Homo-oligomer: A and B are copies of this chain.
Amino acid sequence: MQIAVPTEKWANERRVALIPDSVKKLTRLGLSVQVQNNCGLESGYSNEQYAEAGATIVDDREKLIRSGDIILRVRKPDAEEVTLVKSGAIHISYLDPYNESQLVDALTEKGISAISMEMIPRTTRAQKMDALSSQANLAGYVMVMLAAQKLDRIIPMMMTPAGTLSPARVFVIGAGVAGLQAIATAKRLGARVEAFDTRPVVAEQVESLGAKFVEIDLGETGQTKDGYAKELTSEQLALQREGMKQIISGSDIVITTAQVFGRPAPRIVTADMVGAMKPGGVIVDMAVESGGNVEGSQPDKTVVTGGVSLIGISNLPSIVSQDASQMYSANLYNLLSEYWNEDTKTLEMDLEDDILKSCVISHEGRIVNETIKNLRKT
């Protein structure tokens, strides 16, 4: 089967879906790989490396996409490029199927088997294919670096002959994969770290990284069977804001990662909370793309209000594009090799399988994913 890897077209997208190392492994499985010219340049992988790994370098993007039996990319395709894809081909990328119903329809109509990377279930078995995790993880690290860079202080404590510099206080809101990595990175740098999440199970995880979990009593909260947070009621959100206000005003850095899968992100930090921070403070809003946890944060801008910098970068993993590409590519490889049948040389799309049941959106001209199907009904 022919794999096709086009260069990412989105602004600020420096990642690539497949790196040479995975190309090598896939060819060993018996797949052939075509990549677009210079697709890996921004993440540090040259055409030579791809060629050496066994990929064919193709200049013509259209031809490339037309020829692929399996198309691998990071970002969702635009409507126009969907038309290029072979009917019956397999298309794997982020898709945002909750919101992109037109795109999903287009893929379905064309008979494309579309796999959405954000729909990979959060199970232990699927973790190796879970791109949300792998990328969120890097985002957690990047956020701390961005904040540290912006802060007009240093993060660790230092007792020096010229006085004692107290450690910076970092407050992480939402301790999912990204939040935990942010906590770990800030701790590493010597910050005093506090964290909050609505899911109570997270408290132990936060403490296991040496940070302090902030207790705010919100009454009944919980998580779905996939481990995602449930949405809060508006009273609960008010309670949460109240409880956080004081901590935020004492923090040098606030990092927000709160998300509710498939819904706009909760607005947790209000403008007056931002105003209560000391000048020079920094807030990083990871949820900026899905609505923002922080009032006033804007995608891909750093807004300064009252001396506080509000960093809202929509594509954090892309900042460490080399590692991010490596991990995304490994996720794709793991997905393909899990369902690759070496004898028949085909990908077995067993829709009864736990993982495929969740992540395959359309197949043979039908929307096969239950959740997306239900979404249409209502």
Instruction: Give residues in A with beta carbon < 8 Å to B.
Output: 14, 43-44, 46, 127-128, 130-131, 133-134, 137-138, 141-142, 145-146, 148-149, 151-154, 156, 158, 160-163, 165, 185, 188-190, 278-280, 307, 319-323, 326-328, 330-331, 334
Chain B residue numbers with a CB within 8 Å of A154 are 138, 141-142, 320, 323
Q: Do residues A320 and B152 form an inter-chain contact, with CB atoms below 8 A?
A: yes
CA distance A363 to B316 in the complex (A): 56
Chain B residue numbers with a CB within 8 Å of A330 are 162-163
Nearest Cβ on chain B to A192's Cβ, whole angstroms: 15
Chain B residue numbers with a CB within 8 Å of A142 are 154
Pick the contact of A161: B14, B134, B141, B326 (CB < 8 A): B134
Of A142, A156, A322, A334, chain B has the most CB atoms within 10 Å of the CB of A322
Chain B residue numbers with a CB within 8 Å of A145 are 145, 148-149
Chain B residue numbers with a CB within 8 Å of A319 are 152
Q: Do residues B189 and A323 form an inter-chain contact, with CB atoms below 8 A?
A: no
Number of copies of chain A assembled together:
2
Q: 10 shortest A-B CB distances, which residue pairs?
A: A162-B327, A128-B161, A162-B330, A134-B162, A163-B330, A44-B280, A127-B161, A152-B322, A153-B323, A153-B322
CA distance A307 to B46 in the complex (A): 11
Of A145, A146, A334, chain B has the most CB atoms within 10 Å of the CB of A145
Nearest Cβ on chain B to A117's Cβ, whole angstroms: 12
Nearest Cβ on chain B to A132's Cβ, whole angstroms: 11
Task: Find the B residue at minimum CB distance from A326.
Answer: B163
CA distance A158 to B46 in the complex (A): 24
Q: Do residues A152 and B327 form an inter-chain contact, with CB atoms below 8 A?
A: no
Chain B residue numbers with a CB within 8 Å of A153 are 320, 322-323
Task: Find the B residue at minimum CB distance from A307.
Answer: B44
Of A128, A152, A153, A190, chain B has the most CB atoms within 10 Å of the CB of A152
Chain B residue numbers with a CB within 8 Å of A161 are 127-128, 130, 133-134, 334
Q: Do residues A162 and B331 form an inter-chain contact, with CB atoms below 8 A?
A: yes
CA distance A141 to B209 in the complex (A): 23
Known: A154-B138, A190-B188. A165 touches B326 (CB 8 A): yes
Known: A188-B188, A189-B188, A322-B280. A44 touches B152 (CB 8 A): yes
Q: Do residues A137 and B158 form an inter-chain contact, with CB atoms below 8 A?
A: yes
Nearest Cβ on chain B to A297's Cβ, whole angstroms: 20
CA distance A309 to B163 in the complex (A): 34
Known: A137-B158, A163-B326. A152 touches B331 (CB 8 A): no
Q: Do residues B321 and A152 form an inter-chain contact, with CB atoms below 8 A?
A: yes
Question: What are 6 A-B pairs at a CB distance below 8 A?
Answer: A141-B156, A145-B148, A162-B328, A162-B331, A165-B323, A185-B189
Chain B residue numbers with a CB within 8 Å of A152 are 14, 43-44, 319-323
Task: Find the B residue at minimum CB distance from A137.
Answer: B160
Chain B residue numbers with a CB within 8 Å of A141 are 154, 156
CA distance A165 to B131 in the complex (A): 15
Chain B residue numbers with a CB within 8 Å of A331 are 162
